[in-house]
C-alpha cells in the first residue's frame, strides 16, 4: 500500500490534482479507521457514468442501479460481482493509470 500512496502523492504534484492527495491521505490512516462502503451508498452518491474511488473496502450490501466505475483498495467478492454487472470495478492504481488528471471523479465514503 505504501507504494500506491507514494504514486498518488506524486501524481497529485505532477498533474496538480488535489483528489489524488486526498485519496492518499485517506489510505494512510490506520486500517481500523479506513472506510468501508456498501454498494448502495456508492449508488446513492455517484452519478451515472461517474468514477467513484473508495479509499478503503467496498462491501456488497445493495444493488447498483447506475452504470459507473468504482475504484477501491479492496472489494468483497460479491461487491465486485455486483458492480461488474452494470459497470466496472477496478483498483485505485488502475484508475490512476487510466485517469491521471482525475476528471469526472468523486470520492465516496
* 5 pLDDT higher than 80: yes
C-alpha cell at 37: 462502503
* 54 pLDDT higher than 90: yes
Please give the tally of structural domains in the chain: 1
Tally of residues, the chain: 109
CB of 66 within 8 A of CB of 85? no
In a domain, 32, yes or no: yes
Between the alpha carbon of residue 73 and those of residues 42, 55, 68, 91, the distances in Å are: 15, 6, 17, 6
In a domain, 52, yes or no: yes
Computed over every residue of the chain, the mean pLDDT equals 91
In a domain, 46, yes or no: yes
CATH of the domain at 88: 3.100.10.10
Mean pLDDT over 49-69 rounds to: 92
In a domain, 93, yes or no: yes
Rounded (5°) CA angle 6-20-14 = 70
- Residue 13 domain boundaries: 2-98
pLDDT tens column, 24-39: 999 999 888 888 999 9
Give the pLDDT score at 4: 87
Mean pLDDT over 48-52 rounds to: 89
C-alpha cell at 75: 472489494
- What's the pTM value of the predicted model, to 2 decimals? 0.88
* 102 pLDDT higher than 90: no
Rounded (5°) CA angle 32-64-38 = 15
Amino acid at each position: 500500500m505504501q507504494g500506491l500512496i507514494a504514486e498518488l502523492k506524486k501524481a497529485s504534484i505532477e498533474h496538480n490534482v488535489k483528489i489524488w492527495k486526498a485519496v492518499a491521505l485517506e489510505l494512510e490512516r490506520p486500517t481500523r479507521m479506513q472506510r468501508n462502503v456498501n454498494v448502495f451508498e456508492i449508488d446513492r452518491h455517484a452519478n451515472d457514468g461517474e468514477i467513484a474511488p473508495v479509499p478503503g473496502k467496498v462491501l456488497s450490501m445493495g444493488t447498483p442501479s447506475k452504470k459507473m466505475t468504482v475504484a477501491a483498495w479492496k472489494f468483497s467478492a460479491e461487491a465486485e460481482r455486483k458492480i461488474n454487472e452494470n459497470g466496472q470495478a477496478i483498483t485505485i492504481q488502475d484508475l490512476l493509470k487510466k485517469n491521471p488528471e482525475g476528471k469526472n471523479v468523486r470520492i465516496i465514503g
